[in-house]
Amino acid sequence: MPASDAASLEAARRRAGRTLVAGVAFGSIGHIAAITIATIAARELAGSTTLAGAPGAAVVGGAALGSALLGWIAARRGRRPALAAGYGLGVVGAAIATVAVIVSSLPLLLVGTFLIGFGNSSNQASRYAAADLVTPERRATAISTVVWAATVGAVVGPNLVPVAGGIMASVGLPEIAGAYLVPVVFVGAAALLTHVLLRPDPFEIAHTSSQVGMDDAPSEALAGVLRRPVVISALVALVVGQAVMTLIMTMTPLHMVTYGQGLAAVGVVISAHTLGMFAFAPVSGRLTDRFGPVGVIFLGTAVLAASSALAAAAPPAEQTLLLVAMFLLGWGWNLGFVAGSALLTSGVLLAERARVQGFTDALIWSAAAIASAGSGVVVATAGYATLGLLGVALVALPVLVLATRRDRFPAAAPSTAPTPIPAEIDVAGEI
């Protein structure tokens, strides 16, 4: 390849990477603004707290189905149309949720929040697209940069809720409806940015190393791919990490309030948790690229186990210990999430990635939904401390799976062959 062509290709990859990061930053602002107000909106529409958690469950359900759908689209049409479709459906959902609050319809709100979850599917799938653009030695760093972009949403999203609420109130509409205008604007910006600027499609400009797989074997059916030791190990690590994090995080605010801590204290603890989840993603990426994904997954499970044990042992009125536990819970999740995503990507061919990654993210969000619903049952029947001990027990599963399958991981080899282009994608960039 001539030097000028190589330079143009590298510039296109950098541009695509920046577009993915910007899309996640915008998309996360809208998503986090929406979930910030979800329980309050549901309580007002339902008239009680009984169904207050329903919108949160709907968002997670939408993310699970959306991940599978976007993986299917990406495998057939490319990353760009898949990501743009997810963001677009998120905008439609936010608009429906806005109308639902105005007309006081809880069922309509659930439909809207379910579709908002599709926008979050695009946020999550973007990390895989970024991984395709770089060498294996930089793959985890690329993933972590996209994950880190969600920090923007964590900081900006909640602060835009009162601003948007004031705008709605000024025109005589419910203040809470303003929260759903935030994703209309920002997820809409992510959709537009992705559709216009993510060209060529990341599949077209994927690094040549992305085509390397198990002895250059041809692509196989999903069931066969999932049986590969490296894939099942990554999948278990990602799903269990999400389940443990959700299990404990979901009940911590209620646990604190029940034992007399105020909302201000709850806000500080959850902020520490969010900081751990996103802000240190670049550290997780560098560690993964330096020491390998397996070692970092082991580190992540150790941090998750320590945080779960600390949460179980912390006195309910002791804010400092819970704050440390929640921060470590977030960072332990992040370590496993970045390293697990890198490991999953390394175990599949470029042509297989979208569907396998979509299926995996669908399982991740399904696990989150089950953990969120089950956490209340565990606390009601056995107490918050039992929840922490359950988290300690669960993280042993990925350790066991990795320990028994690690020696069967394929050795990656460099490749200089041309990057394969899916048959459905025109090399000029038109879908």
pLDDT, one tens digit per residue, over 186-201 is: 999 999 999 999 999 9
Categorize the per-residue pLDDT at 415 as very low, low, confident or very high, splitting at 50, 70 and 90. Answer: very low
CA distance 100 to 152: 27
Per-position b or e across 38-64, b if 16+ CB within 10 A of its CB: bbebbbbbeeeeebbbbbbbbbbbbbb
Contact present, 113 and 59 (Cβ < 8 Å): yes
pLDDT, one tens digit per residue, over 300-314 is: 999 999 999 999 999
The mean pLDDT of the chain is 87
CA distance 423 to 79: 14
Query: In whole angstroms, how far apart are CA 171 and each of 102, 168, 175, 248?
Result: 12, 5, 10, 40
CA distance 31 to 180: 9
- The pLDDT value recorded for residue 263 is 63
To the nearest 10°, report the CA torsion of 223, 229, 230, 236. 80
For the chain, percent of residues with pLDDT exceeding 90: 61
Query: In whole angstroms, how far apart are CA 244 and each of 148, 165, 239?
Result: 20, 34, 9
Residue 374 CB contacts under 8 Å (≥ 6 apart), including other chains: 247
Peptide bond into 410 cis (omega under 30): no
Q: Which domains does the chain have, with CATH numbers?
A: 1-211 (1.20.1250.20), 212-412 (1.20.1250.20)
pLDDT, one tens digit per residue, over 364-387 is: 999 988 888 788 888 888 888 998
pLDDT, one tens digit per residue, over 77-125 is: 999 999 999 999 999 999 999 999 999 999 999 999 999 999 999 999 9
- The pLDDT value recorded for residue 242 is 95
Contact present, 40 and 164 (Cβ < 8 Å): no
Mean pLDDT of 128-153: 93
CA distance 204 to 78: 9
Six-digit token string for 272: 């520490």
The continuous run of DSSP H or E covering 177 comes out as none
Contact present, 143 and 341 (Cβ < 8 Å): yes
pLDDT, one tens digit per residue, over 220-238 is: 788 888 889 999 999 999 9
CA distance 198 to 208: 19
Give the end-to-end CA distance of the chain in Å, rounded to a whole number. 25
Query: Nearest 5 degrees, angle CA 250-CA 181-CA 155?
Result: 50
Contact present, 310 and 321 (Cβ < 8 Å): yes
CA 417 from chain centre, in angstroms, equals: 32
Residue 430 pLDDT > 70? no
Categorize the per-residue pLDDT at 2 as very low, low, confident or very high, splitting at 50, 70 and 90. Answer: low
Mean pLDDT of 345-356: 89
